[in-house]
Chains A and B, each alone.
Chain A
Amino acid sequence: MAFDAQAIQSAAPDAASFKAGQGLVKPAKWPLRASNAATGLIWGECQGSGANPYRVIADTSDLGAKCTCPSRKFPCKHSIALMLMKAAGDSGFAEAEPPDWVSDWVGRRRKGSGGAPAAAPQPAASPAAPVALAEAEAPEPELDPNDPKALARAEAAARRAARLAESNRLALEGACAELEGWIHDQIRGGLNLFLEDPQGRCRLIAARMRDAKASALSSRIDEAPARLMALPTEERMEEAVKELGKLLLLARAWKAAPEDPELRREMVQAEDRDALTDSAETPRSSGIWEALAVTIRTRKDGLIAQTSWFLNLTAADPALRFAALQDVFPAAAGRRSAPFSPGDRFQGEMLFYPARRPLRAAVISRRDPGETPPASWPEAPADPLTQATERLLAAPWTLESPLLLGPGRYVSDARGRAWWKAEQGGAALPLNEPPEKPLMGLRLASAAGLWTGARLEMLAAAPEWAAPQGEKAS
């Protein structure tokens, strides 16, 4: 099969996708492009609108492609752009061995099934046809300062937006008052009653919060019962006190500073990523970043939250040591392949969403992974929970805190539950789930996990396997 712009255009699902793909033929949008002549594979990473860059793979032999973006079009604009760049002879493609995520796709793919419809190509609409550019990134029309009508329209729109914001704020204040009343009702009736049916009780107040457009708070309340019920019965009372107390503190903090970006994010929704990029006040952190893990959570509202956790190995400020790249997409869009694999490293800069202890972030720039210099993990504090304490003292509504852990081991308590135990200092943290059996008893040189206040979810660990007999341990 020919590999040129015409063939790629024929493989495009519609003219809009092809045009949108053409719009992405900008090397600056592609921090990574590589190819492998022996296999005919090309791959790259494209910075899209999500926190994580999209990973794109294409097979030049049959125009098969795969992208981690949520688009249902096939091939998507990112795949088209990658192929167009290669077909145009772009010299920015480094010759390399296919990384695991590329090999994995090739391994799972059946020729023809994940590829372009080579046997029976769908007729592509003419580029000139008046097709809606749904996928194209159309720029906002700029305001003409010499057009009084346009200025008046813009002012009216701003006034309407301000009125809407005020009415939303008042609605949310009312909802917060209801939340406080609801919390008091739970106490008055006794938390034993609350723990008998937390789902039913939380569902009602969560719906009220959703009506008041506090969708983030609504999800948090909706998911609280699952957090409670995951714990053994004897721990649920304490956890209920923590959950309800945090809700109260969050609602009060927001009432005191409704424009605070962190509190707005906790109550309503995260701000637009582009707005963050434009702001000079958002914290940034450069260094060598290592991907620790990708966590995927299905939320009660039907959305999937996919979070890539990163550790900055060379962070000057320990408060900006961890970064969480979060993307949220509908469950119906299907499972998305993880944008990073644990252990991946790159040198680059992250931009943090403003917060008392920034954590949520987005990649701003990254250099070719091949250039990443070696770096070791930073030293962990003797008491790992001080990291969570600092975060909670600054933002007491925090649900989970990433922890850097020093040398330790997985151990078991008398009931057979798994713990992580520090080698020195005696700290021990219960795990949310047991590690894989071969890891039990092994020394972990370092690790990182998420502390929920009751359990540790291990994100990454460096086990020291026994060296082959006759060799020294490394």
Chain B
Amino acid sequence: MSGQPDFALGELMSAWASGPALGSAPARWAEALAPGGVEAELRLLALAGHALEVGYRPLPSGPLTEGRPLPALSLPFLAETHRLRFRRLLKGASYGGDRHQLLRFLATRGRVAHPLDWTPGPNDDEIPAVYAPWRDWAAGHAPPPEEALGAANWEDWTRAGRRTAFADLRRAKSAAALALLEAKFSTLKAEDRLDLVDILRQGLSEADRAFLTGIQAKDRAPNVKQLATALLARLDMRAEATPEAAAAQLFEEFIKTERKGIIKRELKLSFKKKRDEAARERFIALIDAAGLDALAARAGGSRLEFVKAWPHDDHLYSPFFRPLLLEQGRPEEIQAFLAEIFGMDQRQTSTHLVPEMMERLTEAEQFELLPILFQRGQLSFDEHLSNLGLWIGRAPMALVRESRLWRQSLAMLDAELKGQGPLTQLPPHLLPEHLQILGGLFDQAGAREALDDFARMGLSPADPRLDLLILNADLNADFLEAHS
């Protein structure tokens, strides 16, 4: 480590390794070592130690290399004054989904986390897109190429970036995506093969059959083979049956229809009892082959009627209608479907593909769903905020005041402040979670108004459960517009 030797340091050190070193002392120190004996040996040690300290400079054993600096993002860091509060919020968000929503909220206010508080890991998929350059940096990759994904630049992408680019390519140029995957397939790990073959679900056609048959016959990984088999079953279904026939088969095997009500004769759908997990692949293949038009016609109603009547009470089968709706649904149909989900008890349904469906709606269409959403109880912070679409951190107070979420929050807070303990019918963790949800959904004015309300009720503004509301109230939403 030391450098610039101007005396026989190596010799001295070698000698001291096994005993006295006076014989290896530099000649110029002879005068200082004149007494000889023990005293000279001690002096030599002191002189050499001091010379090492003041006369030497550390030298690296090889060249020093600069790492690639953390790339800039399109948004500025959260200001220093907010970092402590945000770190506390991040610390409380041990679940990845909650952290994702916090980061998403921050991004809607035109800020990103400070890199000394948080940076993504190389495989963090669930993060707002603004952090993609940091994820690439964490994976040791240069920024992704500006041109589309291709065989020549395949290795220049991170795994997550490549997956997204491949899905984009499949959407835009289905045949090109298939050709690219065929070319690279033998070089991929099993997990990547599984990921990318799964993307072929989108726009699946007869052109994919030969490739999938090859995988079914030769792939070493059983789960990849199984996926290819399922996709081939879907192709077979389409080849064998017209949409109408597939719909007829689906209703024959799985779905019951009836009309209820004397005047309105409302369409009701329900699952037949004889179902099992083994039949699920057949159900998926049938629903995919039938399509929304044929399904609605078979049920004897309009597409909108069919969407509204879709049953949500079966976790084994119900969710497989959602990919079809996402692909073929019109905005008003998706909006109606989401209104059904938001109007239900949380335990009866899941948030599967809900954010993606929200993305298909305009800001105004999403806004119409908010009052229904705010009536919903017992949703987690992650679930609630992921349902908010473009309205995360933008909901006005007027919209929230009449909601169940707000009323429950006030009631629980009131009971706590009056020392009545938690309300028996609500789990005790609900108040902190509600306050956090309110912190993430209000616009800046709403957050300030809520804080004033809570302070009037007697809640200390320093209560850590108000962290997100306070951050919300402090972060100016105009920032984004000024920087856009």
Binding site for B on A (CB under 8 A): 38-41, 61, 98, 100, 103-104, 106-108, 180, 183-184, 187-192, 234-235, 237-238, 241-246, 248-249, 385, 388-389, 392-393, 396, 409-415, 419, 421, 427-430, 436-443, 453-454, 465-471
Contacts and interface: CB of A to CB of B under 8 A. Distances in A.
B62 to A, nearest CB: 3
Nearest to B63: A414
Contact of A190 (B19, B38, B119, B460): B19
A468 B76 contact: yes
Contacts of A436: 116
A184 B74 contact: no
Given A248-B45, A413-B62, A438-B70, A107 B119 contact: no
Nearest to B76: A468
A241 B45 CA distance: 6
B272 interface: no
B72 A467 contact: yes
B74 A468 contact: yes
Interface stretch (B53-61, B157-165, B326-334, B358-366): B53-61
Contacts of A389: 53-54
Nearest to A237: B13
A134 B481 CA distance: 62
B73 interface: yes
Given A180-B42, A188-B20, A414-B60, 7 more contacts: A98-B462, A238-B1, A392-B54, A396-B53, A411-B67, A468-B73, A469-B73
Contacts of A470: 74, 483
Nearest to A427: B57
Contacts of B115: 438, 465
Given A103-B85, A438-B115, A413 B72 contact: no
Contacts of B467: 107
A362 B16 CA distance: 42
A411 B66 CA distance: 5
B308 to A, nearest CB: 45
A180 B42 CA distance: 8
B54 A393 contact: yes
Contacts of A393: 54
18 contacts: A39-B460, A39-B461, A39-B462, A187-B19, A188-B20, A191-B17, A237-B17, A241-B49, A245-B47, A248-B46, A419-B64, A428-B60, A430-B1, A441-B69, A441-B70, A442-B69, A468-B75, A470-B74
B18 A190 contact: yes
Given A189-B19, A190-B16, A238 B50 contact: no
Interface string B29-51: 00000000010011001111110
B310 interface: no
A39 B455 CA distance: 9
Interface string B104-117: 00000000000110
Contacts of A243: 49
B65 interface: yes
B60 A466 contact: no
A150 B21 CA distance: 61
Among all A-B residue pairs, the 4 with the closest Cβ atoms: A245-B49, A414-B62, A466-B72, A441-B67
B53 A453 contact: yes
Contact of B64 (A245, A246, A248, A413): A413
A107 B467 CA distance: 9
A454 B1 contact: yes
A465 B71 CA distance: 9
A409 B65 CA distance: 10
A315 B64 CA distance: 34
A270 B387 CA distance: 63
A412 B72 contact: no
B68 interface: yes
A191 B16 contact: yes
Contacts of B52: 238, 241-242, 453
Give the residue among A183, A238, A241 with the most B Cβ atoms within 10 A: A241
Interface string B452-484: 000100001110100100000000000000010
B45 A103 contact: no
A430 B60 contact: yes
B471 to A, nearest CB: 12
B50 A440 contact: no
Contacts of A242: 49, 52-53
B465 to A, nearest CB: 10
A73 B13 CA distance: 55
A420 to B, nearest CB: 10
Interface string B70-89: 11111111000000110010
B2 interface: yes
B127 to A, nearest CB: 15
A421 B17 CA distance: 32
Contact of B13 (A98, A104, A238, A441): A238
A58 B139 CA distance: 46
Contact of A430 (B13, B41, B58, B75): B58
A381 to B, nearest CB: 14
B152 to A, nearest CB: 26
A151 to B, nearest CB: 48
A190 B45 CA distance: 12
A465 B77 contact: yes
Contacts of B64: 411-413, 419, 421, 428
A441 B138 CA distance: 13
B473 to A, nearest CB: 13
A440 B455 CA distance: 44
Contacts of A413: 60-65
B369 to A, nearest CB: 33
A466 B462 contact: no
A187 B67 contact: no
B41 A187 contact: yes
Nearest to A190: B18
A441 B54 contact: no
A187 B44 CA distance: 11
Contacts of A245: 45-50
A411 B18 contact: no
Nearest to A390: B54
A371 to B, nearest CB: 20
Contacts of B138: 437
A438 B88 contact: no
Nearest to B74: A469
Nearest to B470: A103
Contacts of A249: 46, 50
Nearest to B56: A238
A116 B83 CA distance: 29
B13 A241 contact: yes
Contacts of B20: 187-188
A242 B67 CA distance: 33
Contacts of B68: 441
A470 to B, nearest CB: 7
Contacts of B65: 411-413
A42 B158 CA distance: 51
B384 to A, nearest CB: 23
A440 B46 contact: no
A237 B16 contact: yes
Nearest to B21: A187
